[in-house]
Structure 1
Amino acid sequence: MSTSPSSTSSTSLSKPPAGKSSTPRRPRLPLTPWTVAAAAALAIVTAGTFTTLAGLLVGPLHAELGWSRGAIGVGSAVNMVVYGATAPFAAALMDRFGMRYVTTGALGLVGAGAVLTATAMTAAWQFALYWGVLVGLGTGASAMAFAATVTERWFVARRGLVTGLLTAASVVGQFVFLPVLSEVVGRYGWRAAALTLAGAAVLTAPLMWLTLRDHPAEVGQRPYGATEFVPRPTPVAGAGRRAVRVLFRAARTGPFWLLAATFAICGASTNGVMWTHFAPAAHDHGMPMTAAASLLALIGIFNVAGTVASGWLTDRRDARRLLAAYFAVRGLALLALPLLLTATVQPPLVAFVIVFGLLDVATVPPTIALCRAHFGHDAAIVFGWVNSAHQVGAGAVAFLGGAARDAFGSYDLVWVGTAALCATAALLSLATPGHRPAGVG
């Protein structure tokens, strides 16, 4: 999102429609960069709760409807791929129509998808449509590319920290509410859990409409850390075409493919394997689903600390080396997991949860920083495409993990294979150039 530094007064805002004043409109609620970040965090938390519920639905759908785990995994895979494919177009749409419109619409989509899943679904293909496509579209438009856009527009200083905080918000939605949702599934059924999330989305949407603004210039403010007033850039027409053009430009560079490959492995080793298959794998060893969900929630708690710390480190250290370290340790943890799963929660498994939690989403701030370094004002859209690779990796392992469980009766091969992928990602991270190549972005 490029901005023009040529003017330092509020009269240099983008041209308003005919007959309207160029004076910035004051919102009903006082807005600062930090309050906008807080509003964005609420939307990200809400959307994040949808991304891990699928892991709790595997058992109930298999038991009630008789679907195989592989068939259920197809729906989860569609959700993850659509989630990823939506992100770059959502970032471009935010440039065209603004974050408020896109985010409010996204929350409406996830609510509709959850309601249809709970009330109208009778076949596996409908799970792929309602949960896979509708929920995938909504969560993809209100997740990491959204966080990158907020950070880019509202902050000049502390970008790494803010990225970490907004990523942590996603983690809160993904993990911290899992025990509650698990309890709802156990007591009232999976449909009640889906409808509970739909209600949360419906309640959050109007709050986003009231509190989100597209750019600091709309409320007569400067981005945090800016020394001069920054006018709002003119809306960019042709959002879809722009997203594709940015992809074609980025795809001609080596850093894009290195970042996409490492982030695909990141998705495979988080969303794909842990968020989808950890709870069923623990249950295979005799652990109650509520206990497994509580462990995932504990991962989420440590995700918050790890992601915020990663954002702080990204402002100060080489992002490539950070990524390499994160992937190396994550791979070792996954390699050890088959030896740690038992019917009860033991200290070694808690140690795994702490380590994995600290590293789980810590890859996001350095990846966004590398996108910014290499692709400049197109960074949010490029990160959206990189995030698409993340979700392709996640979807592939979500499906293959379920298929492996059906074929071999165990998830052990899945953990070992994913650990090997993490070792590859560590090497690819070190191979990524640390500077912005001339002529890119």
Structure 2
Amino acid sequence: MTAPEPSTRRGLPHYAWIVAGVTFLVMLTTAGVRSTPGVLIVPLETEFGWDRATISTAIAVNLALYGVVGPFAAAIMARLGIRRTVTISLTLLAAGVASTAAMSESWHMVLLWGIVVGGGTGMSALVLGATIVNRWFVERRGLVLGVLTASSATGQLVFLPLLATLVRDHGWRSAVFLVAGALVFVVPFVVLFLRERPTDLGLRPYGAKDGDAVPTTGAATVVNPFTAALVALRDGMRSRDFWLLAGSFFICGASTNGLIGTHLIPACADQGIPEVRAAAFLAMIGIFDIVGTTIAGWLSDRWDNRKLLAWFYGLRGLSLVYLPFAFGDGGWGLTAFALFYGLDWVATVPPTVRLTADAFGRERAGIMFGWVVAAHQLGAAFATFGAGSMRTWFGDYEKAFLTSGALCLFATAIVLQIGRTRTRPGAPTDPQAILSGEKVT
């Protein structure tokens, strides 16, 4: 029996939009979790006497785990289901974030914020957005992914000024309790409204036409998710495009949440700029990023994604090279930086997802993009620890900003080579093969 088209279901919106809305809420809240360390560095330094390198180590562990968990999370979603996986993730995050209020030693921060919170965010972040988009949408996939990706900027916009104000007026523990409460608030929406696939409701993906192939069940429901993720990595490492995608996304992580997301507020504090005002600059970046990433998603449906990425990395690199000089230009310099840098804060995600799907197929896009995100977060961890160490050694962040800017300019050359060769060494044509660990012949 053929499922009715969305337009015939009494004029109601396609349920894909409800699923996308819940996903946006989840990603927005977890973005608030990921933005929290930026407002904690100075208070922790003051209360416990930990230096920037020590605090940055815990944050680096968090960012690395956030990335490494991603591909396994995609496989776990295929086995346990999206709703169950996200519910477990949010519960784990809420417990981990709330427990940080009791920490008193630096290893407590590594354990709680680094391992527990890092692992929890990795199960409900970019891979979740890519999985939802590829399951629920045929049309407007790039636009929807752009909006979901912009949730990280919206999270900054919603949480950072409030968190900075709470830290100033009531101490840093009030901020972590607020974040934990927000995570608990989201759980009922996930349980009640998040669904696995359109076929569960007798629907086709949004925009699917007659004759389009529509998967009806998850291919990996009985397969070990760790095996599925590792087999995907094995096949990816045989592909030139995978290395280009992962390498460019490593630089993306090293120039966004690993550097600016973590260290812009402490860098402003070094220049005598109050934390609340510095958080406002990060929120401003979030405002412009909502615009930039949404436009990037729209453009990724229409333009050459390699050229889009080249423009994004080039503009970001120039912005980072300018940043050390922006501090000496009063508020106008940082405002200009927030504008130009913010427009492509995470605008690289929609084109990267599209190129990953083009290289490895829609059915494999979730797990393969998970490994690309892992490279992104390793780059973020590298920048977080490296920038914190440079600040401890040299007394400022200038070298860290300039190095990251130079890496972005190098990335403009990398991304133009993606997709130049169409061979996919070792890539199975049957989605079940990648999930079952079947050997490719």
Q: Same fold judged by TM-score > 0.5?
A: yes
Q: Distance in 1 between matches of 2:187 and 2:74?
A: 18
- The CA deviation at 1:138 is 1.4
- Number of aligned pairs? 414
2:339 to 349, 354, 357: 354
1:258 to 244, 249, 257: 244
Query: Is 2:76 aligned against 1:90?
Result: no
2:94 is matched with: 111
Aligned: 1:375 with 2:360 = yes
C-alpha separation in 2, matches of 1:302 and 1:226? 32
Say which of 33, 41, 46 aligns to 2:16: 33
Do structure 1's residue 182 and structure 2's residue 164 form an aligned pair? yes
SS in 1 for 2:344: helix
C-alpha distance in 1, partners of 2:54/2:42? Answer: 12
Query: 1:157-188, CA deviations, whole angstroms, 9 ceiling, x for partnerless residues?
Result: 11100110100112211344200110011111
* Number of the residue aligned with 1:69: 52
Q: Does structure 2 conserve the Cα–Cα contact (< 8 Å) formed by 1:47 and 1:138?
A: no
Q: Is the 8 A contact 1:260 1:390 kept in 2?
A: yes
1:199 corresponds to which of 167, 173, 181? 181
Does the 8 Å contact 1:287/1:344 carry over to 2? no
Paired residue secondary structure (1:271): coil
Residue 270 (structure 2) pairs with residue 277 (structure 1): no
Distance, in Å, in 2 between the alignment partners of 1:351 and 1:39 is: 33
For 1:238 and 1:360, the matched residues in 2 are separated by 35
Matched AA of 1:386: V
Distance 1:103 1:344 in 2: 43
Give yes or no for the alignment of 1:141 onto 2:123.
yes
2-structure distance, mates of 1:50, 1:327: 26
* Residues 308-319 of structure 1: pairs in structure 2 closer than 5 A: 308-319=294-305
Aligned partner of residue 238 in structure 2, secondary structure: coil
Note the alpha carbon deviations across 1:365-416, whole angstroms, 9 max, x for none: 0000010000112111111000001000100110111111111111111111
Match of 1:322 in 2: 308
Residue of structure 1 equivalent to 2:37:
54
How much does 1:342 deviate? Answer: 4.0
Are the aligned partners of 1:77 and 1:394 in contact in 2 as well (CA < 8 Å)? Answer: yes
Distance 1:142 1:434 in 2: 32
Give the Cα–Cα distance (whole angstroms) in 1 for the partners of residues 273 and 251 of structure 2.
28
CA RMSD of aligned residues (A): 1.6
Q: Are the structure 2 counterparts of residues 434 and 163 from structure 1 closer, same or farther at C-alpha, using a change threshold of 3 Å?
A: farther
Q: CA deviation at 1:232?
A: 2.1
Tell whether 2:418 aligns with 1:423. no
User: Taking every aligned residue pair, what percent have the same amino acid on both sides?
Assistant: 44
Report the CA distance shift for 1:438/1:384 in structure 2 as closer, same or farther (over 3 A): closer
Match of 2:192 in 1: 210
Q: Superposition pairs for residues 142-157 of structure 1, below 5 Å?
A: 142-157=124-139
**Which of 367, 379, 391 matches 1:405?**
391
Do the aligned partners of 1:176 and 1:300 also contact (CA within 8 Å) in 2?
no
For 2:371, the aligned partner's letter is: W
Give the one of 205, 225, 229 matched to 1:243.
Answer: 229
Contact 1:268 1:397 in 2 (8 A): yes
Whole-angstrom CA distance in 1 between matches of 2:148 and 2:391:
34
CA distance in 2, matches of 1:343, 1:60: 26
- Structure 1 match to 2:83: 100
Per-residue CA distance 1:52-79 (angstroms, 9 max, x = gap): 1101111000000111110000000000
C-alpha deviations, 1:413-435, integer Å up to 9, x for none?
11111111111111101121256
Name the residue aligned to 2:9.
Answer: none
Output the amino acid matched with 2:21: A
Are the aligned partners of 1:286 and 1:342 in contact in 2 as well (CA < 8 Å)? no
Structure 1 residue 282: Cα displacement: 1.1
| Structure 1 gaps, min length 5 | 1-7, 11-28
1:414/1:221 Cα in 2 relative to 1: closer, same or farther (>3 Å)?
A: same
The C-alpha deviation readout for 1:284-319, integer Å capped at 9, x for no partner, is 111111111000000001111000000000000111
- 2:112 matches 1:130: yes
Structure 1 distance, partners of 2:14, 2:418, is 38
Does 2:397 align with 1:414? Answer: no
CA distance in 1, matches of 2:156, 2:111: 21
Q: Offset at 1:30?
A: 8.7
Mapped contact 1:282–1:342 kept (Cα < 8 A): no
